[in-house]
């Protein structure tokens, strides 16, 4: 458990909790602690799914600008820009379903954290955006890449070029978030969604995530080969044998999986 990031596990669902008052500004220490948290939930075999949560008031209002402002080009190029990429890559690489529970603001680095998740649940009062352009810079923790892959290049350019804040309803309409719920229900809704993966075929879920994410980076033929190899490999698992036997004997949706 870090000073600003902690991992809590309950009934197969891990919560990675961002907790750096007042606005969860993502300084270098917090970024390193998020790498550790991603490693912890990945290695914990009791964890079936993960929720990223910043608390009732705010998800994360962005990177720590006071920390970055005095950095030189050399310092940013050789060190901190790599950390920005590394911590979001670590979160995106968690081989389990991940849901971001967004309350308040998810801006700049905060939105980039949310973009590493598979799904995003936002409160009705939430606002998201990539306001880095207003500081004379661009997103550096994956925003230009993950955002454009999620909502398309034109909408991504709108948000990155303008730096504007997007309310939850518009974010839902453009596909930036997947569900909007009352603010007080964000964490509960995210945990309930995550709980649907508990007891599921963990190896198949991991294969599905890896196939989809890796396939987005390559041409169709290469993506199909990624899918084929992941598909075939699942025939070496207990879950495949269990699932198909249960389907033939009891019908669909009744298998009890071991995660092996």
Asked if 43 and 77 sit in the same domain, the reply is yes
Residues 111 and 16 in one domain: yes
| Same domain, yes or no: 135 and 218 | no
Residue 179 CA from chain centroid, whole number: 14
- How would you class 215 by CB atoms within 10 Å of its CB: exposed for 0-12, middle for 13-18, buried for 19 or more? middle
Q: How far apart are CA 83 and CA 65, in angstroms?
A: 15
Is 209 found in the same domain as 163?
A: no
- State whether 110 and 153 are in the same domain: yes
**Final residue in a domain of this structure, among 195, 224, 241:** 195
Give the count of beta carbons closer than 10 Å to the beta carbon of residue 136: 6
Tell me, yes or no, whether 236 lies in a domain: yes
Residues 191, 206 share a domain:
no
CATH number of 224's domain:
1.10.12.10
Instruction: Tell me the two tokens of residue 140.
Output: 């550096």
Residue 260 lies in a domain: no
- Assess whether 155 and 239 both reside in one domain: no
Domain-embedded: residue 110: yes
- Evaluate whether 46 touches 12 at the Cβ level (below 8 Å): yes
Q: Are 62 and 17 members of one domain?
A: yes
CATH number for 72:
3.90.226.10
Q: Is residue 111 domain-resident?
A: yes
Is 115 inside a domain boundary?
yes
Tell me the residue range of the domain where 236 lies.
202-250
The reply to whether 37 and 156 lie within a common domain is yes
| Residues 112 and 238 reside in one and the same domain | no
Give the residue from 195, 218, 242 where a domain finishes.
195
Domain's final residue, options 159, 179, 195: 195
The reply to whether 74 and 166 lie within a common domain is: yes
pLDDT of res. 177? 98
- Number of structural domains, the chain? 2
d(CA 257, CA 122): 31
- The three-state DSSP-derived secondary structure of the chain is CCCCEEEEEECCEEEEEECCCCCCCECHHHHHHHHHHHHHHHHCCCCCEEEEECCCCCCECCECHHHHCCCCHHHHHHHHHHHHHHHHHHHHCCCCCEEEEECCEEECHHHHHHHCCCEEEEECCCEEECHHHHHCCCCCCCHHHHHHHHHCHHHHHHHHHHCCCEEHHHHHHCCCCCEEECHHHHHHHHHHHHHCCCCCCHHHHHHHHHHHHHHCCCCHHHHHHHHHHHHHHHHHCHHHHHHHHHHHHHCCCCCCCCCC
Please identify every residue annotated as catalytic.
112, 132
In a domain, 117, yes or no: yes
256, part of any domain: no
Supply 253's token pair: 């949706």
Q: pLDDT at position 166, please?
A: 97
One domain, residues 138 and 189 = yes
Residue 67 lies in a domain: yes
pTM tops 0.85, yes or no? yes
- CB distance 99 to 121 below 8 Å: yes
* Residuewise pLDDT in 10s, the chain (260 residues): 789 999 999 999 999 999 999 999 999 999 999 999 999 999 999 999 999 999 999 999 988 889 889 989 998 988 889 999 999 999 999 999 999 999 999 999 999 999 999 999 999 999 999 999 999 999 999 999 999 999 999 999 999 999 999 999 999 999 999 999 999 999 999 999 999 999 999 999 999 999 999 999 999 999 999 999 999 999 999 999 999 999 999 988 889 999 89
Note the pLDDT of residue 93. Answer: 97
């Amino acid at each position: 458990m870090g000073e600003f990031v902690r991992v809590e596990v309950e009934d197969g669902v891990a919560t990675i909790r961002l907790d750096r008052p007042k606005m969860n500004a993502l300084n270098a220490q917090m970024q390193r602690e998020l790498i550790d948290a991603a490693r912890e939930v990945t290695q914990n075999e009791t964890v079936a799914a993960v929720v990223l949560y910043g608390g009732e008031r705010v998800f994360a209002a962005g990177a720590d600008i006071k920390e970055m402002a005095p950095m030189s080009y050399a310092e940013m190029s050789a060190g901190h820009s790599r950390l920005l990429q590394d911590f979001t890559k670590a979160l995106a690489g968690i081989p389990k379903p991940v849901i971001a529970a967004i309350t308040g603001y998810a801006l700049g680095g905060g939105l980039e954290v949310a973009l590493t998740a598979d799904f995003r649940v936002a409160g009705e009062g939430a606002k998201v955006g990539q306001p880095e352009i207003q500081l004379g810079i661009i997103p550096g923790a994956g925003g230009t890449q993950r955002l454009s892959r999620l909502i398309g290049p034109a909408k991504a350019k709108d948000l990155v070029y303008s730096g504007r804040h997007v309310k939850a309803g518009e974010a839902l309409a453009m596909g930036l978030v997947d569900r909007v719920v009352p603010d007080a229900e964000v964490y509960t809704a995210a945990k309930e969604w995550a709980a649907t993966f508990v007891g599921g075929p963990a190896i198949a879920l991991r294969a599905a995530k890896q196939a989809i994410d890796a396939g987005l980076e390559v041409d169709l033929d290469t993506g199909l080969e990624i899918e084929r190899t992941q598909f075939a490999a699942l025939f070496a698992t207990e879950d495949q044998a269990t699932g198909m036997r249960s389907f033939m004997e009891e019908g669909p949706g009744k298998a009890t999986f071991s995660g092996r």
